Structure 1
Amino acid sequence: MKNKWQTVKLGDVCEIQSGGTPSRSKIEYWKDGNIPWVKIGDFSDKYISKTSELITQLGLENSSAKLFTKGTLLYSIFATLGEVSILNIDATTNQAIAGLKIKNNNQLDINYLFSYLKSIKDEVNRIGRGVAQNNINLGILKQFAIPLPPLETQQKIAAVLDKVQKIISKSKTTLEKYDTLIKSRFIEMFGNEIVESGKWKVEKLEDVCDLITDGTHKTRKIQAT
């Protein structure tokens, strides 16, 4: 069934623009600003509802920054590649982030697109490492090949992946708590000074293991021809 799905170029199903940064030397572009301005550091959850910085209307009008509406999918294209989030507010972005506005919501589901773009992050980073500054331009982004199953199928896929992500997030939180517990128990049992004092011998992992490896790797083709 998967082989029968249509494949489209991202640029054919989304309007894609990058953001910009108002001049930092112009205080009037930043002081008392009320327009959210997204940086990659603001990508922490699936949805962006607030930003660490704001710009003014004057800053928006005198820069390459663009105001993206709520529901726009944001995608990082510079340095930290392949980060994805969805605007839960109207906001501008810097030039390291592209805004993707779906042209036809009856053809492409935003949650499906979000999940698919997250799934190809490693492949995108391999492409980015082929250039000097680890980035991709809008031309490359527009050529991304997107499998396009029927809308109902997209929504089902997105719903399943969303549930999986919630389970992963919950498990990660639990593991972090266990890790903290283990470290505290270790210190209770042996004392932190034992490790710090150098009383225990420290070895490199490669010196005590015969083999250190990971699994096989397969690169997916993510650009349309």
Structure 2
Amino acid sequence: MLMAKKKGSLSPEEILQNALVPDWEQPYQVPENWMWVKFGSLTHDMADGPFGSNLKSEHYTEEKEARIIQLSNIGEDGWREENTKYTTFNHAYTIAKSIVSSGDIVIAKMMPAGRAIIVPNNEQMYVLSSDAIKMVPTRVVSTQFLVRGINCTFFRNQVQENTQGIIRARTSISKLKEYAFPLPPVAEQQRIVNRIESLLSKLDEAKEKAQTALDSYEKHKAVILHKAFTGELTKKWREENCVSLDSWEKRKLGKCGEWFGGGTPTTSIAEYWDDGTVLWVTPKDMKSNIIVDTIDHITEAAIESSSAKLIADNAILFVVRSGILRRILPIAMTKCPVTVNQDIKALVPQNVSQEYIFWACIANEKSIRDSCSKSGTTVESISTGLLHEYMLPIPTPEEQSEIVRILESIIEKEQKAKEHSNVIEKIDLMKKVILARAFRGELATNNPEEESAKELLKSILLDKINTVPSIEKKKSVLVLEDSKMPKTILEALSEHKSLTPEKLKAQTGIKDIDDFYAELKKLVDTGAVIERREGEENYLEVNNEGRQA
């Protein structure tokens, strides 16, 4: 039986080859003096955030000591200054491996996984939250170049294709280390960064102007909507028509018409989907005032045999379950028969104008979201019961028509606002194109005469190998002396009877947090391990009855 060579016995060339991505695994062709390397070969240090129980609200402080880097701080375009939380210096030192320095890279493990930022220099100290990874690059790669590459499509695609989890897909250190990354000569990296910054700064300037115009419109629209549903917009109309503001009444949304829910036909039954012509609305379709078409369509057979029932009359649709509810409540009208999935509720208005109810809900969108949101749910949700109880001002039918008539003039101006929105989308697309070309060597910055970074990479890899043995030898001696080999989860639980997740991980040979929890979930799902709660602590035990059975 052939035995794999130990790291210490590999030649320099073999060490280098282990760090390179084989030709058949390279995502695309790059200039000859570039290399495709495994991401892990570019890292001097990578570390997870702490276990959730090691950084809880009880560890927070009002003092500005160690800033906690949360997922909300990791923006698509860099650091986001929001959701400010701190822990004490003393507690930060108890989770020292999660301390981050200004200039380090932090990568989000989820929501979505793979986006990266460079930590700013605004605080005395930074520490990771549980859902982030810190990465300190070696001198073979520029930090600016590396973070641009991590956020580029070629790298993010690798991350997204290999995430784990259904509700909250995650990545992990072990996965990130294996992904392919293009490495040009060091001098070329800086030229690429300079070129990217130059091009993107011009696009950012254009985007800012378009965003300013869009924000101006949105503010004007908000003012008009407020006036419309407080009676101010139609004050003159009431005077001319001898109508009093007292004619307005308050009515619950639940009393404004008939409500419908929806569902998802079984996806494995082709008869429900193939050649379907009936609109099936999901939150992904709720991007305009009126639903004209949908991404997916279902058949009449699906309507007859599933919970996705036909809503034949004109309706108002509300998204009641989606991550987007963190920032907006999507509302839309239908003008043709539709079906909806389980994340949407539909109101068919009765004795009140559809357009009036729609605009009234748009005007009160934030209020509805704030007052009707469910608490303690995994995915953001609106309580249907609370939505039905929400009160709207309802004027006479004639005044409803006048309000809608005035608001329709705003819709015409909205088209111009959409043009600004389209400009912003095009700019974002152009940014992605520039980054994609940059990491293919297509920005006319490459000097083919420059030597590749191969020798520098080899030297750094050798240094890393040579600094490990002294530490590893000490560890191995201790292991032999104590006769403690890494245990499986079941072995550790069999020996200790009952352990918290943190103590259980420490007993096993599983280093990566996500790998540990993935293995633990399999054992819990199969019944080999059971969970028990005492107070605020979770304990894990071997299910002896299940094993005997």
Task: Give the TM-score normalised by structure 2.
Answer: 0.31
Bigger-Rg structure (1/2): 2
Determine if contact 1:67/1:90 at 8 Å carries over to the other structure: yes
Once the two structures are TM-superposed, the CA of residue 38 in structure 1 deviates from its matched residue by 1.0
Q: Secondary structure at the match of 2:288?
A: coil
Is the counterpart of residue 123 in structure 1 residue 358 in structure 2? no
Higher RCO (CA-CA < 8 Å; seq separation 6+): 1
Q: Secondary structure at the match of 1:113?
A: helix
Which residue of structure 2 aligns with residue 72 of structure 1? 315
Q: Distance in 2 between matches of 1:55 and 1:179?
A: 30
Mark the CA change 1:44 to 1:56 in structure 2 (over 3 Å): closer, same or farther. same
Determine if contact 1:125/1:134 at 8 Å carries over to the other structure: no
How many residues end up aligned between the 2 structures? 181
Q: Distance in 2 between matches of 1:56 and 1:180?
A: 35
Determine if contact 2:279/2:338 at 8 Å carries over to the other structure: yes
Q: Distance in 1 between matches of 2:418 and 2:338?
A: 30
Is the counterpart of residue 84 in structure 1 residue 328 in structure 2? no
Which residue of structure 2 aligns with residue 150 of structure 1? 396
Q: Secondary structure at the match of 2:267?
A: coil
Which residue of structure 1 aligns with residue 103 of structure 2? none
Once the two structures are TM-superposed, the CA of residue 175 in structure 1 deviates from its matched residue by 7.3
2:387 to 141, 151, 156: 141
Determine if contact 2:368/2:390 at 8 Å carries over to the other structure: no
Is the counterpart of residue 102 in structure 1 residue 346 in structure 2? no
- Gaps spanning 5+ residues in structure 1: where? 185-191, 198-225
Determine if contact 1:17/1:138 at 8 Å carries over to the other structure: no
Determine if contact 1:70/1:89 at 8 Å carries over to the other structure: yes
Once the two structures are TM-superposed, the CA of residue 57 in structure 1 deviates from its matched residue by 2.0
Q: What letter corresponds to residue 397 of structure 2 in structure 1?
A: L
Q: Distance in 2 between matches of 1:159 and 1:25?
A: 46
Which residue of structure 2 aligns with residue 25 of structure 1? 268
Q: Distance in 2 between matches of 1:63 and 1:75?
A: 21
Determine if contact 1:48/1:88 at 8 Å carries over to the other structure: yes
Q: Distance in 2 between matches of 1:98 and 1:129?
A: 15
Mark the CA change 1:31 to 1:126 in structure 2 (over 3 Å): closer, same or farther. same
Determine if contact 2:258/2:347 at 8 Å carries over to the other structure: yes
Q: Secondary structure at the match of 1:68?
A: coil
Once the two structures are TM-superposed, the CA of residue 116 in structure 1 deviates from its matched residue by 0.7
Q: Secondary structure at the match of 1:86?
A: strand
Determine if contact 2:374/2:383 at 8 Å carries over to the other structure: no
Larger relative helix fraction: 2
Is the counterpart of residue 166 in structure 1 residue 412 in structure 2? yes
Determine if contact 1:16/1:142 at 8 Å carries over to the other structure: no
- Gaps spanning 5+ residues in structure 2: where? 1-229, 232-244, 431-437, 439-444, 446-549
CA RMSD of the aligned region, Å? 2.7
Q: After TM superposition, which residue ranges in structure 1, 4 or more long, deviate above 4 angstroms?
A: 174-181
Q: Distance in 1 between matches of 2:348 and 2:285?
A: 19
Q: Distance in 1 between matches of 2:394 and 2:273?
A: 41
Q: Distance in 1 between matches of 2:331 and 2:369?
A: 13
Once the two structures are TM-superposed, the CA of residue 43 in structure 1 deviates from its matched residue by 2.0
